[in-house]
Structure 1
Amino acid sequence: MHDFPSWASALRDLFTGLAAAIAGWVGLRGLGAWRAEAVGRRKTELAEEVLAQFYRARDALTWARFPHPDVFADAPSPGAADDDAEARRRQAASAPVERLSREMALFSELQANRYRFMAVFGEPAARPFDEIMAARDDVVRCAGDLMRSYADDTPSPTPEAAQARDQMEREVGWGARDADPIAQRVDAAIREIERTCRPLIDEVHRKDRFARKRG
């Protein structure tokens, strides 16, 4: 006949083991949930930081391309060779470069976050970074080309040269916004980065509001 205390001891050990296993399973689930929440928080923080940087970059590009007053310089008066309209327009063309040079830190931070963003959201999600940086580079390039075109001593530029200058002026931001390819590219990049970042940000804010209501 089996010894009852031995059975009781075995059952007790079994239940103790089951309880430990259940506690461990619950703990692992809790740890997994905590890790998932922590990862989600980090993703959201990165999304907020990057989206804010994109908005700042858009404003920086808008201001850099805002026409300098000398863009609209009138024809020079007789004898005013040192202050002619072309010289003033050359100075105006340098304004975008000078303004963007003051925002080097912003664009450096944006470029640094590009790699973090790729690691978290995937390489295709980083395309808006490339577009913003390309837009900045195009503004600097066009401003440089425009300054060189104004430095040209040719008294009467050819129709082709005049057309090329008009195109550079539009790209540097001296034309109508509805015919502004760089502004359109920047706006498209903002919309694309918002599609990645905004749902995460809105979801966290929704959960925070719900938690505050429950509390």
Structure 2
Amino acid sequence: METLTLIAKTIAIISACWAIISGVGAWKREFIGKRRIELAEEVLAGFFEVKDAIAVIRSPFASASEGSSRVKGEVESKEESELLDRGYIVFERYESRKEVFTKFQTMKYRFMASFGAESEDVFTETNKVLNSIFASSRQLATHYWQRQGRVPMNDEEFQRHLEQMRIHEGIFWDSFAEDDTIRTKLEVIQSNLEKVTKPCFEEPMTTYTWFTKKLGANES
């Protein structure tokens, strides 16, 4: 009888130890899962802020004073200055919203650590989109707009000039169309970001969570 009692006590102790160890392990996994969800929400919110900021930067509606903070060259004509100022608008708008982009980029390494190295693409592709706007701005302001109606071109040269200029203007300005170049690229990035983060929002309830919730319900 004493032997059976001892065995029963031993089993009870082992079971209790297992429950504690399992509970700590489950709690740790849930804590990490919660941190992943919080980080995913933070990055998603940051990306939406970046999208909004880019929409403002590319807005075709501008005041007469925008772009005027650009440092003027000594030999610029009035017409050259106006075109260069127009291209500089995106840089002015970016500077006033720079914090949004900086904040988003600072989350890159934490996000990669939680969701894998391949998740870096979300940040690099977003940065490429922004840089493409700046690049098109420079091309338009220093080359295409400056040549328009001022440099003699034959029909073939003029047609090529117009085609290239329209490509850059499609990047520089928001057309508000569904097939807008930059909007389309941002939608692809958003879709990839949502695919990366989706699993952490769909994790099933763990045994530990179920047990503690059921225990709490019984106690009440």
Q: TM-score, normalised by structure 1?
A: 0.74
In the alignment, is residue 155 of structure 1 matched against residue 150 of structure 2? Answer: yes
Render the CA deviation track for 1:57-83: whole Å, top value 9, x for unaligned: 100111100114479xxxxxxxxxx76
Distance in 2 of aligned mates of 1:27 and 1:176 = 58
> What CA distance in whole angstroms lies between the structure 1 residues aligned with 2:152 and 2:186?
32
More helix by share: 1
- What residue number does 2:134 align with? 140
Give 1:32 shift: 1.4
Tell me the distance in 1 between the aligned counterparts of 2:177 and 2:119.
27
Gaps of 5+ in 2: 65-76
Aligned pair partner of 1:102 in 96, 100, 105: 96
Gaps of 5+ in 1: 1-6, 72-81
| CA offsets 1:171-200 (integer angstroms, 9 cap, x no match) | 112546344222210111112212233453
Contact 1:70 1:88 in 2 (8 A): no
Match of 2:189 in 1: 189
Which of 1 and 2 has greater Rg?
A: 1
When the two chains are superposed, the root-mean-square deviation of aligned CA atoms in Å is: 3.2
Q: Which residue of 112, 115, 129 maps to 2:109? A: 115
Q: Do structure 1's residue 40 and structure 2's residue 23 form an aligned pair?
A: no
| Separation in structure 1 between the aligned mates of residue 189 and residue 152 of structure 2, nearest angstrom | 36
CA deviation string 1:146-180 (max 9, x = no partner): 22124559813541333322221111125463442
Distance, in Å, in 2 between the alignment partners of 1:21 and 1:97 is: 66
Aligned AA (1:61): I
Q: Comparing 48-57 with 92-101, which one deviates more in the overlay?
A: 92-101
Deviations 1:23-50 (A, max 9, x none): 1100011111111110110010000000
Q: Is the 8 A contact 1:64 1:96 kept in 2?
A: yes
The separation in 1 between residues aligned to 2:28 and 2:152, in whole angstroms, is 66
**Equivalent pairs, count:** 191
Contact 1:173 1:180 in 2 (8 A): no
Task: State the identity as a percent.
Answer: 24
- The 2-side partners of 1:121 and 1:140 are apart by 30
Q: Helix, strand or coil for the counterpart of 2:107?
A: helix
